[in-house]
Chains A and B, each alone.
Chain A
Amino acid sequence: MALVKPEQDTGVEHGDVLLAFAEAVIGTDRKALDDVRAELAGALGDVAVSGVAAVAANFSKNDRVANGIGIPMDPVVFKGTEDLRAEMGLNAYKSAENTFRHM
């Protein structure tokens, strides 16, 4: 749930810093990004910064490929995630239509 409600505890070490970095690196507040990058380096070490940036970059790519090409969620993921999707509010995303229009 912390992925859509970042004020909640992730249960992962330094999860709060990672969530803040993910939000800042694709956001508009450059100072916030610079601050959280320094915090991230302090918490996980300099070597982790490139990895976190790479993952954020990769999913910035994948989200655009998915929404741009209009692909549906793979059935193996769709099945069994009804409750989780509803709880997280994912069904309200505009891109959910790429899955639901096939049902």
Chain B
Amino acid sequence: MSLYHDTAFPVREDLEAAHDDQFDRFAGAGTWGTAAQRLAVIAEARKAGIDAGLLEAPDDGGAESPTGDLPKMVREVIHTLAATPKDFDMSTYETAREAGLSDPEFAELVAIVSFAVDLDVYARGIGVPLRPFREPRKGSPTREVPDEAVPQEAFVPTIPNVPDCGEFGTELYGGHFKPYIMRALSLVPDEYRAHVALEQAQYNPLPKVPVVEYCHHEGLTRPQVEIVAGRVSALNDCFY
């Protein structure tokens, strides 16, 4: 059965596949979190949305997952990012660090909370209940930090742009300039790759972003897409 079999609206196959992949990723070990930890984080993010009235709790309970025993300070960081991203600032990052998260752990947390909100907003948008989380798979985090990541201008280190990113960065970025919004998660390359995959399915294939005549979505023009993008970002007080 397809992921969005119950929607009344046509969903592109590549978009559905990208979301399906991401739900699978949540249930596997990441670079820093175990599958159980990752599922606990995204369940907490979903709980934050439900508590704030931004999401509707599923009737059957099947879309919920135990939030585990996350430390209180980590839960606060997740709730701010998931429900009130406009309030997230350096002090929130510092709270995460005080709670014991390393920079790569923090970057992975930001990634999976952001992805979880993304998928839940989409479900709400097409009028279907929140999708169930999947059962955790066995496996261990790889705990690999790219040597090329250095302190730049974000809270956490990032891999610089081409040509200052070394062989690994050049391969990761496909040899092309990447705006900071894409490089933001480069401290955890697997999350960077997932970020790119969602971006390409949901917005535009990256090489097409500067092509203003191009629109990736049937039935819409590029100006119509940009209105939706800009309004969402304005409501989230996102300066970037």
In the complex, whether B127 has a CB less than 8 A from a CB of chain A is yes
Q: Closest CB-CB distance, A22 to chain B, in whole Å?
A: 4
Please tell me if the beta carbons of A49 and B118 are within 8 angstroms of each other in the complex: no
Given contacts A48-B218, A48-B220, whether A67 and B202 have CB atoms under 8 Å apart is no
A27: B residues at CB distance < 8 A: 54
A68–B225 Cα distance when bound, in Å, is: 24
Q: Which residues in window 1-52 of B have CB below 8 A to A?
A: 7-12, 15, 52
Partner of B9, one of A2, A46, A55, A66: A46
Which chain A residues lie closer than 8 Å to B239 at the CB level? 66, 73, 90-91, 93, 95-96, 98-99
Q: List 18 A-B contacts (CB under 8 A).
A: A12-B224, A21-B228, A25-B121, A44-B224, A49-B125, A53-B121, A53-B124, A54-B217, A58-B198, A59-B228, A59-B232, A60-B232, A63-B240, A64-B81, A66-B184, A70-B89, A70-B155, A72-B180
Interface residues of B (CB under 8 A from A): 7-12, 15, 52-54, 56, 81-82, 85-90, 93, 107, 110-111, 113-115, 117-119, 121-122, 124-127, 153-156, 158, 179-181, 184-185, 195, 198-199, 201-203, 216-221, 223-225, 227-240
